[in-house]
Structures are given as C-alpha cells and as structure tokens.
Amino acid sequence: MDTPLAWALVIAGIGGLVRGTTGFGAAMVMTPPLALLLGPKVAVPVTLLLETFAAAPMLRPAAVIARWRVIAPICVAAVLAVPLGGLLLAGASPMTLRRAIALTVMVFSLALLSGRRYQGAQRLSTSVGLGALSGTMLGATSIGAPPVILYLLSGPDPIAVTRANLTLYVVVISGAGLVMLWASGLLTLPTLQLAALLALPFISGVLLGARLFSRFSDQRFRQATMVFMFAVSLGVLFA
C-alpha cells in the first residue's frame, strides 16, 4: 500500500469518528489533508461521497427525532443556492472566500463559548437565509455547513435533536454538492473507486463515534463542538 493511500485511510477513519460523534464535521476534517495528498479535484468529490452515502447508518434514527419544521426550509434554501456559489467560485479566489468564512466561524465560536446562547424562536426567514448562505458557501468553497451548525447549536433544542438535524442537513447539502460536481465532470470512475475504498474506515469511525456520543452531556457537547469549530477555522485561516 502506498503512503498517500495509507494516510487517506487514516484520515477517513478520523473524519468518520468526528461525524459519528457530532453529526457533522467530516468534510472540514478530511478535505484539507486529502487535498494535499490527492489534489482538490479528487478530495472534494471523495469527501462529499462519503458524507452523502457512507453516513447512511445515522439517517434513519435521525429522521425520527429531527425537527423538520426547522431543518426542511434550511435544506431547501441551501440546495437552491449551491449553483450561485458555483458562479462565485468562477469569479473569486477560493482562498479569499475560505479565509472570510474562517474568520466568521471563529467569531461566532468564541461568542458561543463565552456562554451566549440563542433563546428566541427559530424563525422561517432566518432558516431560509442561513440555508441560502450555506448553499452559496458550499458551491464556492466546498465548506458550507458552519453557518447552519452555529445556528442549530445555539438554539434551544436538546442535544439529540440538534445532532439529528445536523446529520440530515449535512447529507442533503453534500448531495447537492455532488450534483454540481457531476455536472462539472469531476465524478470520475477512479474517484468513485477511491471513495468506495475509504468507505470502510469512514463507516467504522461513524459507528464508533455514535457510541461515544452517549457520553457527552448537553453542555460538554456544545463546548467541544465550538472548540473544534474554532480550531478548524484557525487552521483554514492560516493554511
């Protein structure tokens, strides 16, 4: 086994572990190192394939307890906005966009870690606006989840419902990203084969992470997630 492939298998396992524990985060963990190993034109579709299909064990239980009134408008708006992000990608520097996103996420992460928490109702207009922003970010940079993640984590829902909402949202938006990549001709046979190879460690990580999830209290879950988001954003900012 060559060294890049061995590292890719390890990265996939770590990404699955994060995904299973938090309900999100795999793309932010896997895409940067896989892009260094394999190139972004391979890393992005492989990551989105794993996010969309290999996370299947989490979908059924998530769908039962998710708050569809909150997550459905976010998903619809995000899917519709993905092509707009593709247009932005053609006219702007991806690095500039990524760093702007990283700064935004860092600010919100610090605000939430300081103890501030959204106490009001999750309005339809807010959900649609954040979904549209997220879809645009995904199309432009392949990192689209942070605005919705921060919105849901700061809301009043219990930990299990928040995790279920995030699980469904990440799969839907990743699927929309795959459609855009397919239309661009980036979903090649070698890419599909590599995704199939990485699916085993990724799914193993998801299942292990799902077991670890039960050990987190509501407060610890939110704090650990915010620290994680801040660290990833810091890395993206200086990458």
Instruction: State both tokens at 83.
Output: 């092509």
Q: Give the max Cα distance, the chain.
A: 53
Residue 35 and residue 144 in contact, taking contact as beta carbons nearer than 8 Å:
no
Most trustworthy range by pLDDT among 57-61, 144-148, 192-196, 215-219: 192-196
224-237 pLDDT, tens digit each: 777 877 887 787 77
Instruction: State both tokens at 142.
Output: 């392949």
Instruction: State both tokens at 43.
Output: 């890393």
d(CA 22, CA 224): 9
* pLDDT cut 70: percent of the chain above it: 89
What is the predicted pLDDT for the residue at 77? 95
What is the predicted pLDDT for the residue at 52? 83
Residue 133 and residue 150 in contact, taking contact as beta carbons nearer than 8 Å:
no
34-49 pLDDT, tens digit each: 887 888 778 888 988 9
pLDDT above 60 (res 118): no
169-217 pLDDT, tens digit each: 888 888 888 888 888 787 889 999 999 999 999 999 988 888 877 776 6
Count of domains forming the chain: 1
Domain carrying residue 120: 3-238
Query: For the chain, how many helices (H) and strands (E)?
Result: 11, 0
For the segment 156-163, the average pLDDT, to the nearest whole number, is: 83
Nearest of 8, 21, 10 to residue 208 by alpha carbon: 21
16-34 pLDDT, tens digit each: 888 887 777 788 788 878 8
Nearest of 126, 221, 226, 167 to residue 19 by alpha carbon: 167
Buried b (16+ CB within 10 A) or exposed e, 52-82: bbbbeebeeebeeebbeebbbbbbbbbbebb
What is the predicted pLDDT for the residue at 72? 93
* pLDDT band per the 50, 70, 90 thresholds, residue 162: confident
Mean pLDDT estimate for the chain:
81
The C-alpha R_g of the chain, in whole angstroms, comes to 17
Q: Which residue has the higher pLDDT, 66 or 35?
A: 66
